[in-house]
Chain A
Amino acid sequence: MAKVIVVTSGKGGVGKTTSSASVAAGLAMQGYKTVAIDFDVGLRNLDLVMGCERRVVYDLVNVVKGEATLRQALIGDKRQEKLHVLPASQTRDKDALDFEGVGRVMQELVDMGFDYIICDSPAGIEKGAQLAMYYADEAIIVTNPEVSSVRDSDRIVGLLDAKTRRAKEGLDPIKCHLLVSRYNPQRAERGEMLSIDDILELLGIELLGAIPESQSVLNASNQGIPVVLEQESDAGAAYMDAVKRFLGEEQPHRFLEVEKKGFFSRLFSPTPRNAYAG
């Protein structure tokens, strides 16, 4: 049975699209037929992060309006056979999508045999974000260890509990998973950044993973590669751990603690206080 997962956050710029791309690619790497849908109508970007921007012909709005078939709009990933992308439209018409039309597309994707449908939500709590979350069975809340992001995440959890199909039909509530991105364990240890424990205590949802602040995220998006494909990078490995945890595998959390340095590396490296730049 297909599962619909919304990747959401409330706040913009915390890594929803990066996370959607990596979670979708990670699930495909694990052998599941997966589609990532960009719900950010007017500000399409998932295609760019996943490296298929030049192959976009039709989009979600075209399908909802019956101007193209779903098969015409779906873009198959060139690296992962099981990975597909359904891009957002660049239209400025805010009412281009409606709940019923999106529901039809979801049903058709289920009928096509997709195992996972990843909905990349736009920022905010307006209609676009509500459309992205409406049909979800589970939610991945992307949060940065920073006050405004944590507050907005709590608002989003409230909306997931109230404004979705599961809430309206009285089904089991959407299962929420927390994905903390741009985490810096050194700064958290020094008390300069909210720690994972702080965020978990504040939001009261289960931890799916922490993605370390890393150069590799930008390097990957620069090239249109979901960072999860770069398994030798810390962020890529962290995303894959999170995907495996999502699938129910036990995975130790590798990136929550400061790496303990050996005697020599401590001797020859600057103190952590001076080492931080930026």
Chain B
Amino acid sequence: MAWYEIFKREQPTTASVAKDRLQIIIARERRTLGRDADGEGRIAKLQQELLAVISKYEGVDLDQVSVKVDKCGNGEVLELNILLPEDELPDSDRLRTRAAFA
């Protein structure tokens, strides 16, 4: 390590990047492909259809869309996070929708 690297902002290690990426993809695949799959794959199907709709709009980066399902008491909460390109939505860059399922 050269001496000037001491002043650099610490970068996340490649292992921690790998771990973060895996956490996301594994959680998604467990929902859609088995392991924590809900009854008829209802949430998975909803997620897939939502992504299909969102992908029709140009400029939305699907990497910036997250669909999360949380257990909340007896119900499930679907959290949809879409990061829209700045020029399309100047005041607020996030459109957030929460839908609750009984």
A is bound by B: yes
A194 to B26, CA, bound (A): 15
Shortest Cβ distance from residue B6 to the other chain A in the assembled complex, whole angstroms: 15
A151 vs B25: C-alpha distance when bound (angstroms): 8
Q: Does B98 make an interface contact (CB < 8 A)?
A: no
Asked if B30 lies at the interface with its beta carbon under 8 angstroms from chain A, I say yes
* Cα distance, A135 to B56, chains bound together (Å): 46
A194, B21: Cα distance in complex, Å: 12
A154 contacts B29, C-beta separation under 8 Å: yes
Secondary structure of the A side of the interface?
helix
B16 to chain A: closest residue by CB:
A191
CA distance A195 to B15 in the complex (A): 8
Contacts of B19 in A (CB 8 A): 194, 198, 201-202
- A195, B13: Cα distance in complex, Å: 12
* B18-A194 in contact (CB<8A): yes
> Cβ of A157 < 8 Å from any Cβ of B?
yes
Q: Which residues of B contact A157 (CB under 8 A)?
A: 35
Given known A-B contacts A154-B30, A161-B35, A191 and B21 have beta carbons under 8 A apart? no
* CB atoms of B22 and A147 under 8 A apart: yes
- Chain A nearest CB: distance from B11 CB in Å? 9
B34 within 8 A of A: yes
Cα–Cα distance between A154 and B1 once the two chains are bound (Å): 37
Q: Which of A154, A192, A198 has the largest count of B CB atoms less than 10 A from its CB?
A: A154
B22 contacts across to A, CB distance below 8 A: 147, 150-151, 194, 202
Main secondary structure of the interface of B (DSSP, over half): helix
Most chain A CB atoms below 10 A, which of B14, B21, B22 = B22
**B1-28 to A contact mask, C-beta < 8 Å, 1/0:** 1000000000001111011011101100
A192 touches B34 (CB 8 A): no
Considering only CB atoms, which chain B residue lies closest to A146 in the complex?
B18
In chain A, positions 152-193 with a C-beta closer than 8 Å to chain B are 154-155, 157-159, 161-162, 188, 190-193
Which residues of chain B have C-beta atoms less than 8 A from A147's C-beta?
Answer: 18, 21-22
Interface residue? B33 (CB, 8 A): yes
Residues of A within 8 A of B16 (CB): 191
Q: Report which B residues bind A (CB closer than 8 A).
A: 1, 13-16, 18-19, 21-23, 25-26, 29-30, 33-35
18 contacts between A and B (CB under 8 A): A147-B18, A151-B22, A154-B29, A154-B30, A154-B35, A157-B35, A158-B30, A158-B33, A158-B35, A161-B35, A190-B13, A191-B15, A193-B15, A194-B15, A194-B22, A195-B15, A198-B15, A273-B1
